[in-house]
Amino acid sequence: MHNIVVLGFGLASAPIVRQTMRTIVLPSDKYKLYLVTPSSTYHWPIAMPRAVLPGQIPDEKVLVPIESSFAEYPTEKFSLVMGTADVLDPAAKTVVVARNDGTSETINYDTLIVATGSSARDDVPWKALGTTEKTTERLRAVQAEIEKAKTIVVAGGGMTGIETAGELGFEYSQHGTKEVYYVFSETLPMPSLKENVRKAAQSELDKLKVKSLPCTTVSSATKKGDEYIIELRTADGSPKTITAQAYLPALGLTPNTAFAPAPMRAADGRLKQTATLQAPDHPEILIVGDAGNLQFSTAAYAYEQALHVVKHLGEYLSTGTMAPHQVSDKIQAAVTIGRSRGTGQVGSFKLFSILVWWLKGRFLGTDVSPLLPAGKRTSMAVLEK
Ligand SMILES: Cc1cc2nc3c(=O)[nH]c(=O)nc-3n(C[C@H](O)[C@H](O)[C@H](O)COP(=O)(O)OP(=O)(O)OC[C@H]3O[C@@H](n4cnc5c(N)ncnc54)[C@H](O)[C@@H]3O)c2cc1C
């Protein structure tokens, strides 16, 4: 029996697991697939900037239950291991899994697919926080803080920060019901995009009466009772303090790769990944999505890599050779600013607000998110080519 072991069940791994089961494992008597995941739900990060607001998106669209949908597979072909990959030993071809019930299990692999993604800093549920219980608990806590808050601070000039500030502006500050501050370190948000796109995003936030604090960084955020004391360093270097009842830092992601031996990791913590999506020196290990260092950590690139594996895994298993992935560096960013506007960039073209709203902002992918882990869709329409 050839064991295919998949670590993680996020955006990148869902199409791989479903298509591999359908086209390779079930039709043959040679393979068994093990899926290792700490979470009993499929987490949908794309909608989290809206889902953190109370009452906006039902849980089952951003935390889609998965266990029952795997019941269709026979146990001799498929095993769902609820736990976290703890130690990878590429020489022995084993993964030690710390199971959610406190026990541990060592799984032997012939082919390993690492799709463990990344986690948000500061324990905000932008990404999954291990078990579904932990993610749900943090989501509820953030929603409750926002519900009660008079003043809310969002920090971070990337896409998560600006989309969250936009959602809060749309729901609250444009109507004067809550005060929303948005702190970021550059002159305009989203430094990786073109200036006209960044200016459009800023102008949309201004219309929603979000109080932007550019060229400003958070020095510390301390919780005292029900309030956060947020110390800022402003453009001229002077300190400023804001007292808020909700604080949403969106200050970057950390790759979930601690289980891999140090030589497999690049300087930024992601796993070294060749153009064939393999680990250098370990051709039986494939890496997809945010856990790998071949491309920027975006859903669009994660899907492209996943679809490459879907297309070429059969050939790889029979010949041992994996086709190279045509890496695209083209910028693809659709940025929602509130529930009716947006901006974005594809290549060097700025996207129209109405197009971003139509493709992304209306639903933030929650119209398809329940279909993806069930294998009934491969990716969100806006990301499909
Ligand atoms: C708020 C937010 C909004 C975003 N919006 C966009 C967008 O609009 N467009 C875009 O292109 N990109 C967007 N992104 C980026 C996108 O979400 C990521 O690139 C994408 O989630 C990567 O998918 P992945 O499957 O590689 O990793 P993940 O989605 O992180 O999934 C990894 C899975 O592995 C599990 N896991 C972690 N560690 C282990 C372990 N040791 N063992 C087993 N399982 C493990 C995790 O629980 C998780 O379920 C956004 C990100 C955030 C945070």
C-beta of 57 in contact with ligand 1 (< 6 A): no
pLDDT at 384 over 50: no
Please tell me the distance between residue 304's alpha carbon and the centre of ligand 1 in angstroms.
14
Residue spans of the domains in the chain: they are 2-122+253-325, 132-251
Best probe residue, ligand 1, of 116, 121, 285, 286 (max atoms within 8 Å of C-beta): 116
C-beta of 118 in contact with ligand 1 (< 6 A): yes
Closest CA to 14 of 365, 325, 310: 310
Residue 340's SS3 state is coil
Domains 2-122+253-325 and 132-251 share a fold: yes
Give 291-311 pLDDT, tens digit per residue.
Answer: 999 999 999 899 999 999 999
Percent of the chain with pLDDT over 90: 91
> Token digits for 251?
């200050």
End-to-end Cα, the chain, rounded Å: 35
pLDDT at 385 over 50: no
Atom 4, ligand 1: residue with shortest CA distance: 46
Give 22-53 pLDDT, tens digit per residue.
Answer: 999 999 999 999 999 999 999 999 999 999 99
pLDDT of residue 244: 98
Average pLDDT over residues 2-28: 97
Give me the chain's average pLDDT, please.
95
pLDDT of residue 69: 87
Cα torsion 172, 175, 176, 182: sign: positive
The answer to whether 325 touches 304, Cβ cutoff 8 Å, is: yes
Residue 73, judged by CB atoms within 10 A of its CB (0-12, 13-18, 19+), counts as middle
Which CATH code of 3.50.50.60, 3.30.390.10, 3.90.1300.10, 3.40.50.740 fits the domain covering 2-122+253-325? 3.50.50.60
Ligand 1 atom closest to the Cα of residue 86 is 41
Give 142-154 pLDDT, tens digit per residue.
Answer: 999 999 999 999 9
Please tell me the distance between residue 125's alpha carbon and the centre of ligand 1 in angstroms.
11
Give 176-199 pLDDT, tens digit per residue.
Answer: 999 999 999 999 999 999 999 999
C-beta of 298 in contact with ligand 1 (< 6 A): yes
The answer to whether 40 touches 101, Cβ cutoff 8 Å, is: no
C-beta of 292 in contact with ligand 1 (< 6 A): no
pLDDT at 212 over 90: yes
Task: Name the residue with tokens 């291990």.
Answer: 130
Please tell me the distance between residue 13's alpha carbon and the centre of ligand 1 in angstroms.
10
Give 65-102 pLDDT, tens digit per residue.
Answer: 998 889 989 999 999 999 999 999 999 999 999 999 99
Please tell me the distance between residue 256's alpha carbon and the centre of ligand 1 in angstroms.
10
Ligand 1 atom closest to the Cα of residue 290 is 26
Give 218-274 pLDDT, tens digit per residue.
Answer: 999 999 999 999 999 998 889 999 999 999 999 999 999 999 999 999 999 999 999
Give the torsion through C-alpha atoms of 271, 272, 273, 278, to 10 deg: -90
Give the C-alpha separation, 202 to 196, whole Å: 10
Average pLDDT over residues 156-173: 98
pLDDT of residue 381: 58
Atom 29, ligand 1: residue with shortest CA distance: 10
Atom 9, ligand 1: residue with shortest CA distance: 299
Q: Beta strand pairing status for 282-287 and 278-279?
A: antiparallel
Average pLDDT over residues 362-383: 84
- At the second CATH level, the architecture of 132-251 is 3-Layer(bba) Sandwich (3.50)
C-beta of 43 in contact with ligand 1 (< 6 A): yes
Q: Mutual orientation of helices 195-207 and 159-171 as an angle, nearest 10°? A: 30
The DSSP H or E segment spanning 99 is strand 94-99
Give the C-alpha separation, 269 to 257, whole Å: 7
Closest CA to 232 of 245, 246, 218, 244: 218
Please tell me the distance between residue 244's alpha carbon and the centre of ligand 1 in angstroms.
29
